[in-house]
A and B are shown apart, each in its own frame.
Chain A
Amino acid sequence: QKEVEQNSGPLSVPEGAIASLNCTYSDRGSQSFFWYRQYSGKSPELIMFIYSNGDKEDGRFTAQLNKASQYVSLLIRDSQPSDSATYLCAGSVGGYGNQFYFGTGTSLTVIP
């Protein structure tokens, strides 16, 4: 069974610091990984996706994938109070129409 594990937190960081969110996955066949942000009462919003080993940067966000260790992370630089949300990690075996399997999410609070 494909699973994604995340530390549920809550994770608290001061404003301006780097927030580090981690995720491990069980299925070595998984090829694609996605980070979503979900505010309370709202639906998830796609932040980034990563398919290849290494780092992928987009603005203040950096996703990291290590397939050998089956580990995915999301770094948020210069954290802002508006980044306070639950972050969901999702994996997929890839290809069109493939289902995502989601972690339970990590709650992040950025303290002004």
Chain B
Amino acid sequence: GAVVSQHPSRVICKSGTSVKIECRSLDFQATTMFWYRQFPKKSLMLMATSNEGSKATYEQGVEKDKFLINHASLTLSTLTVTSAHPEDSSFYICSAERRGGYEQYFGPGTRLTVT
């Protein structure tokens, strides 16, 4: 159990366009989902915490208007990178906290390349 999926796994987009990334908990309900980004050979950087039915809480320095997060249900959260620029190119990973537990389970990640 505790499987988290992400879609797409890899996306290339042109500068100025928007990209939506989906994160789904497949076999459990996730009360909280987290969005991270990771640069090569660096650790995870938390971007925002997302609770079902409420607004996401963004970390300092993360622009909420640029990284739109929607947590529509207990199994789905989406991250939309708006007006993407090359510096937004990164590995975006979501995680989900299973209801009744404290541990986080990670999705497989989405590699975004902005050209």
Contact = CB atoms under 8 A, between A and B. Distances in A.
Contacts of B75: none
Which of A44, A46, A102 is most buried by chain B, counting CB atoms within 10 A of its CB? A44
B43 A88 contact: yes
A36 B109 CA distance: 15
A44 B102 contact: no
Interface in B31-51: 31-32, 34, 42-44, 46, 49, 51
Interface in B15-34: 31-32, 34
- Which of the four size classes fits the interface of chain A? 20 to 34
Interface in A31-61: 32, 34, 36, 42-46, 49
16 contacts: A43-B106, A43-B107, A46-B104, A49-B103, A95-B102, A96-B31, A96-B32, A96-B97, A97-B31, A97-B49, A97-B51, A99-B46, A100-B46, A100-B104, A102-B44, A103-B43
